[in-house]
Chain A
């Protein structure tokens, strides 16, 4: 069964204007590379991407045929979506185990949501 692993953190919601510390950046990248490798070894990896901070987000809504475009995410939240993985897991316990291993779990929140597997047409 597939699950979406959503990585939320404060840094994405409120990015500091200063450029990231290169050592810290390298360390974080290293951790995520290791995590992706772990997922692949477990046969769980389907997809995964990092997102740019919410300052780069644009929200669009269409009501009564009218498109409304606004700067920013759909809602201002303390933690914002910073990245995701799409994984294949045997059950929720395995999905949670893999979610907990995600580097983002240490300083942010990981939401694990099952994919609605719709019957193919």
Chain B
């Protein structure tokens, strides 16, 4: 790589990590998403010129915020916006002058609230469409570019750009306030934030097709954002629980795909390739969450993942405890999918036929009838019970509902192993 290329990559990476802070603060100060983003873009261009010559600043985040703020002042002056905005910035600058000019903690917080929290709650406001919440979070806090987000979600760039424009316009025109919501609505608003982060993680974690690299970045991004929220809201157990859940799943990433890009089931994974550090961190976070004494669905799911990760061999898995946890999850956050997973755990703990009977009681559920994993779970149990013909039928039902190439390959192989004709 050329020197210029390496420099570009470094600036890229640092901006990705640090620009969220600058954007969050500038939105508060300027009251304008677009202006804040444009100012940070200006700072990026400046960094590309200055850093290779002057070296990377000791505190890149502070440099970005200061430079972006100055760029915003320039833009405002050029656009002849209201004087009051410049005065506000001038006031901030005066304040910094008296506090020693340190752009860092003082700037990204007001009233002891980190601006990034304000930003993520605004991005995840229920008045915005769910896909807009995801896109806006990734763009503003994550610092991902529009093409990167579009690629990861397999959406045309134009569509995603429009989505972002509409969302920002709505925030402005309907006057969605830029703040951490008050206590009376905080629980459901925090739920929305966690839901968006989990969605981003799953999008990156899933085996669906598309740009594999973009997807790996997505789950990494989800973890990074969840870390920020967990750091800023350390007394919210579900925030810690979600981060733990992500880490405990992400730890298995390397072992989930075979050399040919094929899917490797949990029971077949090479556990030596699991990331021990992530497992240890996830377990510690889960412990901290549980100590806060307010159980919730993310904590329960994290506990299940921790039990899987604690087993050094598939045979060592504590399925009984996992089944009990799924029962707990079914009580606090019931859903057909939870019942499905519970049935599978029961099958492993008490016997395949017991689990299969449970699965069959769910047969009438319309959601599950269209869910490929329901059929593949039934197929798997039938296979283990030696009921091959029925297993093939169930695998075919799963195949009919699966579009993902990797998973189709897996199902096709299973059918062939049982002596069925390979599908096209």
Contacts and interface: CB of A to CB of B under 8 A. Distances in A.
**A, B bound:** yes
Interface of A: 1, 90-93, 96, 114
B173 A91 contact: no
Interface stretch (B39-47, B175-183, B314-322): B175-183
A101 B164 CA distance: 31
Nearest to A113: B174
Given A92-B127, A93-B181, A96-B127, A114 B174 contact: yes
Interface of B: 127, 173-177, 181, 185
Given A92-B127, A96-B127, A114 B173 contact: yes
Nearest to A112: B174
Nearest to B181: A93
B173 to A, nearest CB: 6
18 contacts: A1-B175, A90-B177, A91-B175, A91-B176, A91-B177, A92-B127, A92-B174, A92-B175, A92-B176, A92-B177, A93-B176, A93-B177, A93-B181, A93-B185, A96-B127, A114-B173, A114-B174, A114-B175
Nearest to B127: A92
Contacts of A90: 177
Contacts of A114: 173-175
Nearest to A89: B175
Contacts of A1: 175
- Sorted nearest first, the 9 A-B pairs with minimum C-beta distance are A91-B177, A91-B175, A92-B174, A92-B176, A114-B174, A92-B175, A1-B175, A93-B177, A114-B173
Contacts of A92: 127, 174-177
A17 B379 CA distance: 56
A92 B173 CA distance: 10
User: Which residue, A1, A90, A92, A96, has most C-beta atoms of chain B within 10 A?
Assistant: A92
B120 to A, nearest CB: 16
Nearest to A94: B177
A89 B175 CA distance: 10
Contacts of B185: 93
Given A92-B174, A114-B174, 14 more contacts: A1-B175, A90-B177, A91-B175, A91-B176, A91-B177, A92-B175, A92-B176, A92-B177, A93-B176, A93-B177, A93-B181, A93-B185, A96-B127, A114-B175
